[in-house]
A and B are shown apart, each in its own frame.
Chain A
Amino acid sequence: MNQRPPSVESATAPRSRFAGCGLLVPGLLWTTLFCLLPMVVVLAVSFATRGTYGGVLWEFSLDNYRDLLHPLYGRIFGQSLLLAGMTTGLCLAMGFPLAYYIARMPPRRQALWLIFIMIPFWTNFLVRTYAWIFILRTEGLLNTVLIQLHLISTPLDLLYSNEAVLVGLVYGYLPFMVLPLYAAIERVDPALIEAAWDLYADRWSLFHRVLVPLTKPGIIAGCVLVFIPSLGSFLTPDLLGGARSMMVGNLIQHEYLVARDWPLGSALSLVLMLMVMGSLLWYLKAQEPPAGERGGQ
């Protein structure tokens, strides 16, 4: 206490260090009350037992997690992973050329195109998903057009399938892929692309030897931003997949609201969270600077 350095800053430094902390209180309070606490509740409930009429009995059991080993749940988890993975892959395949194209335009046009990409967000997601029902259903827009063009004679069964869910998910999450990719590609020095071209690279080599390594953070960010919400998506598979295509999100909703089995629903939620955390860990690991990543092949 008697060791205060006799400098002028000593009087102000500790104050300025703690002065901003008061501003943290609202955020911390909010996070604790509405995020951390509910998670603890979910964790607790997942180890409880379902009452006969749907209540939660506070008797410790691992039955919920044991139930998850049932092949049915495994199939739904597998299907969710597959759909989320395919969504991510398709978004990346479509998003990269689009982002590249936008990033190489004159700045004024770039802004316009970015607005085009974001316009869908101005409308409610539910409404936009309903629009897909109108496009895909038996008497829908797509079938009508195809029949009018005499490309098909009987309407295709498009709605309520995994494919319909995939279309909906890709549609919904494509902007989340395009925006980080755009940001990453826009930062690549055009001279590097010209240098690769000058050094005899064809399009494919330019892409995988120069563009991909240089935009890796953007690619990973885009994949995480698409994969995580599609894995837990509920609305799209509910509306476009119907009874034939179920994802984890629908299963959780079903357990909570229809089967009134809160403990099982909580266990499902936690497993989903673990999967998301797993992919985030992979993301963080991949963000580390690659040390001697590539040999001279």
Chain B
Amino acid sequence: MNDLSIDIRALVKRHGATVAVDHVSLQIRRGEFFSLLGPSGAGKTSLLRMLAGFEMPDAGDILIDGRSMAGVPPNLRPVNLVFQSYALFPHMTVAENVAFGLEMKRVPRDEILERVGSTLELVRLNDKRDRMPGQLSGGEQQRVALARALVNRPAVVLLDEPLAALDQQLRQQMQSELKAIQAQVGITFVCVTHHQEEALALSDRLAVMQQGRVMQVGRPDDLYERPENLFVARFVGVSNEVCGTLADIQAGEGALLLGEVSSSRGIRVAVPAGLQSGVPVVMTVRPERIRVTPGHDKETGGNCLHGVVETMRYIGSEWQGVVRIGESVRWTIHAPNAGSGSRPVAVGAPVSLQWSAGDGVVIPQT
């Protein structure tokens, strides 16, 4: 219990008739970079605002460092929020913005000066300390907002879509910077984002949310390699799916009998414990696990499906294409850019898609 930073217990929040947060329970460990990932309207912002204290839950409780936050207003909570719009005070300099929280807590002046200085050092803005926020670039404003939260040494820093307002290049640079700063200060970060790549890159663990519920919690590789449901499989990365029923299960492996797609041989899949033969399932494979070879190959050992290339798209580092493998089943394929700008396979050409049994994830149909 002692290493729990945040303990969310069966939290419920209703906005009128809609349930924004629906019995969410989450445990976030001390010093962890935790992300709440989901499409807009998934309830992640409501959850963040309840952590900050701007919204009060209709049921359930939030414990921060073991202390219940029920009825505790934002100014008395040991958390600081980095706003999506940064919300820097436009009438104060960078240093004054960063000092604000400490002044409100009546920290002695010498200590304020020292802590503001070292925090601005941390975000590499010491030379901009006397600028007004309006004179800073987006990335610099973002770092001031972060410094303004970190300087208070809160138990938790909350980040609301921290990189959404930045352009692509700056975004990637800030990602690694954010991660490095978090590792350096060791404060628990809770980050709301709808950007799955960002969430995977930044987080130690993350929760995928949809319609107010947590769909899966885990490390980035748990979510990507072992999605527990189709929503997670589709939201985190690209999901190539085919429906079927399980058969012939032995020692965690079984056969998948396909309905809509014909295959020359049976498809072998790893079967998670608890699933029995005859259960209708969806199997999903990530594009980068699929080997594409021209022609309808017949003598491979692994799983193989035949299809026809519908599109091929050059995106620089690789080719991305769509292969039709059944009446209405289309899979996305990624083929390495082998050089000379030529397509690995031509549009309209027959191809074989191969993958190993362990790369197909089986999810029960609901």
Cβ-defined contact, A194 with B96, below 8 A: no
Whole-angstrom CA separation of A294 from B96 in the bound complex? 9
Contacts of A213 in B (CB 8 A): 91
Q: How large is the interface on A (under 10, 10 to 19, 20 to 34, 35 or more residues)?
A: 20 to 34
User: How distant is B244 from chain A, measured CB to nearest CB, in Å?
Assistant: 50
Residue interface bits B72-102, CB-to-A below 8 A is 1, else 0: 0111100111010101111110011001110
Cβ-defined contact, B75 with A202, below 8 A: yes
- A199 partner, pick from B91, B95, B148, beta carbons under 8 A: B148
Contacts of A209 in B (CB 8 A): 100
Contacts of B152 in A (CB 8 A): 199-200
- B87 partner, pick from A192, A200, A294, beta carbons under 8 A: A192
User: How distant is A187 from chain B, measured CB to nearest CB, in Å?
Assistant: 11
The B88-134 residues at the A interface (CB cut-off 8 A) are 88-92, 95-96, 99-101, 104-105, 112-113
Cβ-defined contact, B85 with A189, below 8 A: yes
Known A-B contacts A189-B87, A191-B85, A191-B87; the reply to A196 vs B100 at CB < 8 A is yes
Q: Which residue of B lies closest to A205 (CB)?
A: B104
The yes or no answer to B52 lying at the interface (CB within 8 A) is: yes
Residue interface bits B17-35, CB-to-A below 8 A is 1, else 0: 0000000000000000000
The yes or no answer to A296 lying at the interface (CB within 8 A) is: yes
Cβ-defined contact, A194 with B83, below 8 A: yes
In the complex, given contacts A195-B87, A197-B74, A199-B104, what are 4 additional A-B residue pairs having Cβ atoms less than 8 angstroms apart? A192-B89, A209-B100, A296-B96, A296-B112
Contacts of B90 in A (CB 8 A): 192, 214
Whole-angstrom CA separation of A200 from B79 in the bound complex? 10
The yes or no answer to B54 lying at the interface (CB within 8 A) is: yes
The B268-314 residues at the A interface (CB cut-off 8 A) are none
Whole-angstrom CA separation of A198 from B82 in the bound complex? 10
Cβ-defined contact, B101 with A200, below 8 A: yes
Max chain B Cβ within 10 angstroms of own Cβ: one of A198, A209, A213: A198
- A198 partner, pick from B80, B85, B95, B112, beta carbons under 8 A: B80
- A195 partner, pick from B73, B79, B81, B112, beta carbons under 8 A: B81
Cβ-defined contact, A194 with B54, below 8 A: yes
Closest 4 CB pairs of A and B: A199-B101, A191-B87, A200-B104, A195-B87
Q: Which residue of B lies closest to A200 (CB)?
A: B104
The A189-224 residues at the B interface (CB cut-off 8 A) are 189, 191-192, 194-202, 205, 209-210, 213-214
